[in-house]
Structure formats: structure tokens, C-alpha cells
Chain A
Amino acid sequence: MTPIPDRSGAEARADVPAQVPAPEQTPALEARDLSVVYPGSRGRGPARAVDGVNLRIGKGEIVALIGESGCGKSTLARALVGLVRPTGGQVLSQGRPLDYSAKALKQYRRHTQLVLQDPGGALNPKQNVYDAVALGPRLHRLTEGLPERVHGALARAGLRPPEAFVGRYPHELSGGQQQRAVIAGVLALDPMVMVADEPVASLDASVRGEILKLILHLRDELGLSALVVSHDLGLAWNIADRVAVMYLGRVVEQGTVEEVLLHPKHPYTQALLSVIPNGAEDWRPTLLTGEPPDPTAIPAGCRFHPRCGRWAAASEADRAAAACDRRELPVLTPDGARAACHLLEPNTLLPETV
């Protein structure tokens, strides 16, 4: 995990909010009350992988979606690019609801792209780099000047010189080169929106930095909007304008990077942040206990309460008043509250850990 820089860096980072677009602008991509339920199998109930998510990605904005494994963030990413059909709610692209007819989806995929986590598996072993990158343009009949387009995309993705790579097969590339080839395949279509599912999880630190720099560069140069799905808070800090934290199918905290990562409000976010070594003498990580979340058996009330340190430490009176184990939480909306937690009222707030 990339360590989070100290706070002096934070102040420098905080004075560039000009890049964050005004909220009234039409968002590039939006999820509205989105839910995806997978039917149950072998005696288990249906899995509510995504269970009421509101998320907004403005034009030219990079949003990081943070959460642990199995919280539904990959399913949300797939639903946003139309690979998974939501069972409830809507995906809106440029303000218009997504049309799931084959023709409309193909049109949608001309401009909205997905980058997968496993670059080795994401490349067809029978195709060389040229064909892998040319796949998108060929599908969309952009065959005029195809070699130049492919070489340009490869160069932009950092595979230079392109002619050294076009004839290679995926197994002849390193992991970082494979991920660059995948990203080049996306760039060849000049996308407006990119959804990246753990784009750098399998890469080493130097390559990771380059890929992230590439995403930032594309935002600045082309106005690319991006949703970056990750479990890495350092990554969010480095590239994102806004952060959404997901737990068991719902967004539990959202806000700008500075708000969420420096002043987290939700106990889950606080626990995630507390495990990052900060060099302080009194560094005490909050380790989450209890069972890892299971989307087939979502707890009643606040879905985080069985593992919540704040709930465990609350007094009897606070518990009775908050009733986290019975009272449902409202679903967060982009313009609404920052965190979904019954124990947020000032008098019940525990001292913040960061």
C-alpha cells in the first residue's frame, strides 16, 4: 500500500479544488439507487452485491471507490459499464439512462471503457499486442489509419517504441507491459469515461506510479472522467478528486479526498485509515473484528454494526438512542450527508483516530 503523505502535503493538495466541477454540471456517469442482486444458489439467499448506491462522476473528475474484497465494488463497476444489468435503479450516462439494447450498448461502449484488474487474463493469448489494441477500433469500424491509431495509443500508454511491442504475444510481456497494453486498447478509442477495476493491484510500485500518472495525464489532456476501484487508500489519495467508501453493497462515506481521508467520519473509514502506519509514537491500528461481510446475509439496521468499534464502545444510553442494530440507515445521495452512521451526532462522537 502506498503510504499516505504527511499533512504538509495535504495542505498543498487542498488548495486546488478548482478542478472539482460544479455540482450542477451534468455528470459524466451516475448511479442512481443502483442495486444488483445475484440469485441465490445452493440454499443460500440471494446476494445483494450492490444494494442502493448513489454515485456521481463529474466531467473530468476522478472518483476513487474504496472498499474491502466482496463489498460489491467490482459489481458496481461492471454495472456502470453495462456488463451487469442492474436489478434496481439506473445508470445515467451524460444525464441519460442507459439503454440496454445491443445497438445502444455498443454505442455506449464507444466512449465508456472498463480496465480490468488482471492484465494477464484480460489479453487474448492468441492475439498479439497489435490485434489486442486494434480490437476496440475494429469493433467500432475505425479502421482508417488503424496502424497509426494503435501505435499512438501504445506510445501514450508508455509502450515505447510501439514497433517493438506490436508483434509480441501477452505471455512475452511483463505484468506492467500487459496492463499498459490493456490501457492502450482503451485509449485507442479515445474514451470520455474510464472505469478501472483495481488497475494497478497486480503491478509493482514504479509501474503503478506510471500508470496512475498516465490516468492523471489523460484527465488533464483529454478531460477523461474516471472511476478507480481499489482497496488501496494511498492510490485514492494520489489520484482522486473525490472518494466513496463502500461497505457491503452501500456507500457509507463520501466526499473530497481531503474530507474522507483526513477527517473520516464513518467508523469503517476510520478503521481502514488507522491501519496505515503513520510513524507516530502512539500508533494504534483499529483492527476490524467479527465476520467478514456476507452479501447473502446483510445484518439488520446499520450493516456495519456487528464490526463497529463505535457501537461496541458506546454507552447503554447511546446504544438505546442510536439503535444501530434495528434502525435502517438512509441511503447516501451525492448532495446529502457525508457519512451514513447513526452515531455521528456530536455528543456521541468518539475521538477521531486520524
Chain B
Amino acid sequence: MSAAQTATEPVHAEAPAAAPVPPRFAAARRFARAFRGRPAGVAGLSILLLFTLLALLAPAFIGPDQLDVTKVNGPLLAAPSGSYPLGTDQAGRSVLLLLIWGSRESLEIGVLATVLTVVFGSAIGIVAGHFGGFVGRALMHVTDWFIALPSLPLAISLAAVLGQGSASITIAIAVTSWTATARLVRAQTLAVEARPFVERARALGAGNWQIMLRQVLPNVMPLILVSSTLTVAGSLLSEATLTFLGLGSPTDVTWGEMIHDAFFGGAFTADAWWYLLPPGLAILAVVLGFTLTGRAVEHVLDPRMENK
């Protein structure tokens, strides 16, 4: 609008009777539109949706009988066939059903560890970046200790204390990976806090928490989102590593557990590629899905990345 235009318009001393409020979630809708324009991101998200859907629907078509080694009656370590599309394991269970069932626990551990990591890491990062001074330094020192923690021995000790299984694996992943998020978020918080709109909010009367939650968090959120998609991928790989090393509960079915069972159950010597490959490929597909989605989100949220 030009200055001349405003000058000619009548001046309304009072606002019109119904003062419209702009629609909420307009930014979310714009985001969805831009995301659809990135095929790699759409492909990644489709992979994730497919696996999520399978995991959620699994109880509808997989009963405990088909997963119980004492109740199944299929051939042992049989190659893929019509009735067993991905073959069977050394106990005669269908690898395909194991794979679908395993996605439940694997995804659960990955997502839960990520949520813990992101919530805790972001909170520490924003508080450390906002307050600076003594509080910030103390928090960053604590973060540095955790960076120095070796994840594998920690996970082994946790498994010894909490017992084997998904809980200790989830905690071990979260405890060792929140530091990266905390440092990232703190750096971004420092950058955001230096911008004038934070000073404006303060001058308008905003307190520390209002600045952190309403001004800094929305501007750090894109980074948190992107980092969390990559953290899920990392968590899934950690879960596979830790369960492969035998830290999982033998009664659970996860992808890492499947590789563990395949390796120690003689799939290598029996040349049973159908038992080893599927869980590995499933991990690869999901990690790829998260990475592709994360990259697309990153591009959509930061249009300046376009030229790089």
C-alpha cells in the first residue's frame, strides 16, 4: 500500500464491528503445500506411513500362535515359498510375520528414545542459551560430561541394572544422544536471542518463560524437527546394534533381535539369506524414510537452502 493511498482513505477511529482474527494454522497449511512439492520427502513419508500402518494393524492379522516357537509348525529355515513369502526361521516361524511384528517394538523404541532426547535436549538447550551466565555454563558442563559417556558400556550397565529389554535400551539411547540436540538448540537459541524481536518482547513486558516459549521456541522448532527425524534414524540403528549384541530381551521380537537370532541361530552357515536380509533392509528403509522426510522438512522450512 502506498502512502498516498492511505492518506486518501477515511480514517476509522474505531475498529469495524466484527474485527476478524486471522485463521490459525495458516502456516501449517502452507507447509503442507510446500512439502508436497518435494517428491523425495513425499516418498520418505510414504515409507514411514506404510510401516506405521503395518505396525498398527499387525495385531489384526498376527496372533500369538504364529509367533510362539512352541506352537508354530512350519518347516525349519525353509527358503521363501508360496505359503511363506520370506521363508521361515530356525523355529519354523514366518519371517514375514516376524518382520511385521518386529516393526512395532523397533519403531516404538526409536520414537520413544527420540521424544525423550528431543524434549530433554531442547529444554536444556533453550534454558542454557537463554540464561547464559552461571546457569548456562553449569548446564553446558553437565552436557559435556554426558558427551564423554560411552554409549555401549552405559547400555550394558543399564541392562544389568534395569534388566534386558526395551526400557533399558530406550533409556540408554536417550541418555547418550540428548547432548547433541542440547548443543544444537543452545547455539540456535543464542542466535535467535540476539535478534531485535526478542528485545521488543522484553520491552513489551515478556518474562523469561514467555520469551523462551513464545519467541525463541517457534524459531528453534524447525531445527528441532529436522534434528528429531535424524535422531529417530540414529535411535533405530542404536536399537539394532544393542539388541544384536544381546542386550535386548530374547522374548521380544524386534528387528535387531531378529538379526541377533539369525546370526546366533546359524542362518549364516545355513545360507539362509531370507532370514538375515529382511530385518536389515527394513531398518534401512525406515532410516531412509526418516532421513528423506527430515531433509524435505529442512528444505521447506528454510527456503534459503534451495540454492545450496
Determine if B203 and A130 form an interchain contact, defined as CB atoms under 8 angstroms apart.
no
If A81-B203, A167-B22, A185-B204 touch, whether A121 touches B9 (CB-CB below 8 Å) is no
Residue of B16, B199, B202, B204 contacting most chain A CB atoms (<10 Å): B204
One of A154-162, A251-259, A280-288, A323-331 at the interface: A154-162
Contact of A136 among B13, B15, B204 (CB under 8 A): B204
If A121-B196, A167-B26, A207-B3 touch, whether A139 touches B205 (CB-CB below 8 Å) is yes
Tell me the dominant secondary structure on chain A's binding face. Answer: helix
If A124-B219, A185-B200 touch, whether A166 touches B21 (CB-CB below 8 Å) is yes
Contact of A163 among B20, B23, B207, B218 (CB under 8 A): B20
Residues from chain A with Cβ under 8 Å of B1 in the complex? 164, 177
Residues from chain A with Cβ under 8 Å of B27 in the complex? 126
Determine if A83 and B3 form an interchain contact, defined as CB atoms under 8 angstroms apart.
no
Q: Is A248 an interface residue (CB 8 A)?
A: no
Determine if B197 and A122 form an interchain contact, defined as CB atoms under 8 angstroms apart.
yes
How far is the CB of A203 from the nearest CB of chain B, in Å? Answer: 10
How far is the CB of B1 from the nearest CB of chain A, in Å? Answer: 7
Residue of B4, B6, B7, B14 contacting most chain A CB atoms (<10 Å): B6
Residues from chain A with Cβ under 8 Å of B219 in the complex? 124-126
Determine if A155 and B200 form an interchain contact, defined as CB atoms under 8 angstroms apart.
no
Determine if B15 and A135 form an interchain contact, defined as CB atoms under 8 angstroms apart.
no
| Nearest-CB residue, chain B, relative to A151 | B15
Residues from chain B with Cβ under 8 Å of A164 in the complex? 1
Assembly CA distance A130 to B15 (angstroms)? 14
Assembly CA distance A109 to B196 (angstroms)? 17
Q: Is B148 an interface residue (CB 8 A)?
A: no
Assembly CA distance A124 to B1 (angstroms)? 21
Determine if B23 and A102 form an interchain contact, defined as CB atoms under 8 angstroms apart.
no
How far is the CB of B219 from the nearest CB of chain A, in Å? Answer: 6
Q: Is A150 an interface residue (CB 8 A)?
A: yes
Assembly CA distance A116 to B22 (angstroms)? 25
Q: Is B206 an interface residue (CB 8 A)?
A: yes
A interface residue numbers (CB < 8 A to B): 81, 83, 102, 105-106, 109-110, 113-114, 116, 118, 121-130, 135-136, 139-140, 147-148, 150-152, 155, 158, 160-164, 166-167, 176-177, 182, 185, 189, 206-207, 210
Known: A105-B205, A151-B15. 17 other contacts (CB 8 A): A83-B199, A116-B200, A122-B197, A122-B199, A124-B218, A126-B27, A126-B218, A130-B21, A147-B15, A151-B19, A155-B11, A160-B9, A160-B12, A162-B15, A163-B16, A167-B23, A185-B200
12 contacts between A and B (CB under 8 A): A106-B205, A114-B200, A121-B195, A130-B21, A139-B205, A148-B15, A152-B14, A155-B12, A160-B6, A164-B1, A167-B26, A206-B4
